[in-house]
Chain A
Amino acid sequence: MQTATIAQQIRSFIQESFLFGQTDNLRDGDSFLESGIIDSTGILQLMAFLQDTYGVRVEDEEAIPDNLDSIDRIVVYLRRKSDSAEGGAGSGRI
């Protein structure tokens, strides 16, 4: 899947789930925490979305802002997970 497509899917999820139509100001590098877009419950919903959409389970040690705090970071994280799955036995949907 193209990086731009993944970014767009994540953006759509965040717009629908947390921004309720206020879509103009979210940039791919914006921190969800600093902008107050997603709280800790929202992160749980985001992780469920990643699992349902891409088959990626976010492990406990991976549930950190470095991996999930912006659209850009999530894309990088998903790519890394996909690469490690291809190197092993897993087959992602990315």
Chain B
Amino acid sequence: MTSASPLANLLRIDPARETDRIVAGIRDIVFHGLKRQGAVVGVSGGIDSSVVAFLCARALGPERVLALFTPEADSSPDSLRLGRMVAESLGVRSVLEDISHILEAARCYERRDGAIRLVVPEYGAGYKCKIVLPNLLDADRYAIFYVVVQTPGGQTRRVRLSAAAYLGIVAATNFKQRARKMMEYHYADLLQYSVAGTPNRLEYDQGFFVKNGDGAADFKPIAHLYKSQVFQLAAHLGVPDEIQRRPPTTDTYSLEQSQEEFYFSLPLEKMDLCLYGKDNGIPATDLSAAVDLGVQQIERIYRMIDSRRKMAHYLHAAPMLLE
């Protein structure tokens, strides 16, 4: 990104002012709108949930915030360590709930592995996996997922997924986000708290969440903020440096998977500016220098944003009623 470009500065916010605004909003929503006594925050050790935990602690008081850690068999050990760091630096209560046994009972891992075996028949014990998108910037391609598998010996293979394999993997791994949310609402019921959602604007807008999983919450205090604005708030709020420096990850698959690899296929700071450009009618020719991308690439991204929004419609839809 060319930081000297005026467009690159468009996403700068006054973090102190924005913090005050969000904090006042959380207090109003939780205490007066929802009439709940505090907030449960699922803390993953990533930047978004850390910022939400800091905002909730500031808004409601640390004694009214519960940080919930929900690791499972495929989680990076860093997630729990960094999550604890957030809770300790805020002085909020925390609970560890390993959800692996819930996922085993739901046959999450077994179903996922079975779906992978539709395209990689030898996949089994000791293998690791992740799903990835091809490069969508340099040519008109479909956003078709591939599975990357790593043998116990460390060799990797990348195979295009069939429809049945892709849907099988997604349907199985979505148990993870739904089990986490079930646990968050358990503690919300127990304590008469509300559940804070942690999506940023990119995730919320583009449907990078699981319906009734991480998409479920009582309020979403940073869903209006671009990822780079979340980083600005993190710096202002004093989120631990290690979390600010940690590359974003989905923490869903056993092989390390960046969010851009899984979903956006573009570095998040560039995706931010493209989303801003798209929403504010900035022609691709004007945005090109700011994001250091070609005009055709930006036009592809603009089309991709539209396409994702269409797909996200179902994810955002509330239950539909027949009058």
Contacts and interface: CB of A to CB of B under 8 A. Distances in A.
A60 B142 CA distance: 10
B307 A39 contact: yes
Given A41-B166, A44-B163, A60-B160, A65 B310 contact: no
B310 A64 contact: no
B311 interface: yes
A16 B161 CA distance: 23
A43 B139 contact: no
A60 B132 CA distance: 14
A63 B136 CA distance: 12
A21 B142 CA distance: 25
Contacts of B140: 64-66
A48 B141 contact: no
B139 A44 contact: no
Interface string B116-141: 00000000000000000010000111
Contacts of B144: 40, 43-44, 63
B310 A41 contact: no
Describe A's contact surface by its main secondary structure.
helix
Interface string A18-59: 000000000000000100100111011101100000000000
Interface of B: 134, 139-145, 160-164, 166-167, 303, 307, 310-311
Contacts of B311: 39
Interface in A38-94: 39-41, 43-45, 47-48, 60, 63-66, 68
Contacts, number: 40
A63 B146 CA distance: 13
B310 A39 contact: yes
A68 B141 CA distance: 10
Nearest to A39: B311
Contacts of A41: 163, 166-167
Contacts of A47: 163
Contact of A65 (B142, B160, B166, B167): B142
A64 B163 contact: no
Given A41-B167, A44-B163, A33 B307 contact: yes
Given A48-B162, A60-B134, A68-B142, 16 more contacts: A33-B303, A33-B307, A36-B310, A40-B144, A40-B145, A41-B167, A43-B142, A44-B163, A47-B163, A60-B160, A63-B141, A63-B142, A63-B160, A64-B141, A64-B142, A66-B140
Contacts of B307: 33, 39
Contacts of A40: 142-145
A36 B310 CA distance: 8
Contacts of B141: 63-65
Nearest to B143: A40
